[in-house]
Amino acid sequence: MKILGNLTSILPTFLLTSIPGLESVHAWISLPFGFLYAIALSGNSMILFVIITQKNLHEPMYCFLSMLSATDLGLTISTMSTTLPIFWFNAREISLDNCIIQMFFLHGFTIMESGVLTVMAFDRYVAICDPLRYTIILTNSRIIQMGIIIITRAIVLIIPVLLLLKPLYFCRENILSHSYCYHPDVIKLACSDSQANSIYGLIAIILTTGVDILYIVLSYILIIYSVFSMDSLKERHKVFSTCVSHIGAVAIFYIPMISLSLVHRYGQSAPKMVHSMMANIYLLLPPVLNPIIYSIKTKHVRKAILRLLFTR
């Protein structure tokens, strides 16, 4: 279907973009992308498997880690479904309905991952600042309730954002900047008024990412205060080292997210290559690095994975 068909199409078709200027070497570019997706899928699947099967890992900290791996798997599959077909088959076309479906899962899992990182910060806060009540506060039923709240929040906030896309009218060449459908990228192509979409999208970000970052920062302020109140330097290092993996996960998730949002809002003059690379880093980096970070820094997870790989 030609791009000009969008001028009269009731259900517009969008064209996804891989890496501008490098279309001739898609086959070669697909190799590192395929390798990274394989790491993300296998790494997160392995962590999920060992946490589910190993009874000594049925603790709050590892339950939250399994939630993080599950959301990372969702993010990986959501983007991989359109990114790799572009590289392999030049399959760039996507309808508005399919675009909305992809955004539901992509943005939904993004909101869920933000929520999981927040409850992981709460887990570290309780473990360090109130260790005697750790098992009393973080019971199995409470962990399940947290998981339900995280999923419900994502669904409740993302559905109105996507429903507001249906009435929009698209009348020009609908070429998206990324290899997947990203809400700010889609609404900027609308010919009709998309102010409501922008406002509600901003509200959704504030109620999720904004609130979550604030809570994580507050948790670590209290954690740092508690750690520095300890007399032993060795004990300080030991306690704070339990937070390193989580701090790494927070950094590799929020820094690319905030950077991509700033590029979309204020970097319209930036080269298309910058938009494309930021978009790929934003959703590919956390699923690839999180299992590596937690496998290296978390002793019990590392031992369980090594047993799984090398036990005959």
Fold of 24-310: Rhopdopsin 7-helix transmembrane proteins (1.20.1070)
Contact 182, 261 (CB under 8 A): no
DSSP tag of 90: -
Cα gap 68→176, rounded to integer Å: 29
- In order of 64, 265, 278, 303, the CA distances from 258 in angstroms are 23, 11, 10, 34
Q: What is the pLDDT of residue 3?
A: 41
Among positive and negative, which fits the CA dihedral 104, 280, 248, 220?
Answer: negative
Cβ atoms of residues 158 and 108 within 8 Å: yes
216: three-class secondary structure by DSSP: helix
Tokens found for residue 141: 């039923």
- Residue 64: which of 250, 201, 207, 312 has the closest Cα? 250
pLDDT at position 26, please? 85
Contacts 24+ apart (CB under 8 A), 259-264: 261/184, 261/205, 264/182, 264/184, 264/185, 264/188
Per-residue model confidence (pLDDT) at position 10: 56
In this prediction, residue 181 carries a pLDDT of 94
Tell me the two tokens of residue 204.
Answer: 């959704």
Cα gap 196→75, rounded to integer Å: 26
Count of CB atoms situated within 10 Å of the CB of 214: 12
Q: Is 175 helix (H, G, I), strand (E, B) or coil?
A: strand
Closest among 97, 75, 92 to 18, alpha carbons compared: 92
DSSP secondary-structure letter at 10?
S
Query: What's the rounded Cα separation, in Å, for the pair 81 and 84?
Result: 7
Give mean pLDDT in consecutive 10-residue pieces for the chain, a chain of 312 residues: 43 86 85 95 96 93 97 96 93 94 96 97 96 94 97 96 90 87 91 91 93 97 92 86 93 91 72 79 92 91 88 62
Which H or E run contains 95? strand 93-95
What's the rounded Cα separation, in Å, for the pair 36 and 256? 17
Alpha helices in the chain (DSSP H): 26-53, 60-89, 96-129, 134-137, 140-163, 183-187, 195-205, 211-228, 233-241, 244-266, 272-297, 299-310
Query: Phi first, then psi: what are they for 95, rounded to 5°?
Result: -80, 165
Compute φ and ψ for 94, nearest 5 degrees: -150, 135
Position 99: which residue type? C
At 149, list the tokens. Answer: 């709240």
Residue where the block lists tokens 């806060």: 125
What local confidence, expressed as pLDDT, does residue 6 receive? Answer: 42
Instruction: Tell me the C-alpha distance between 139 and 157, whole Å.
Output: 27
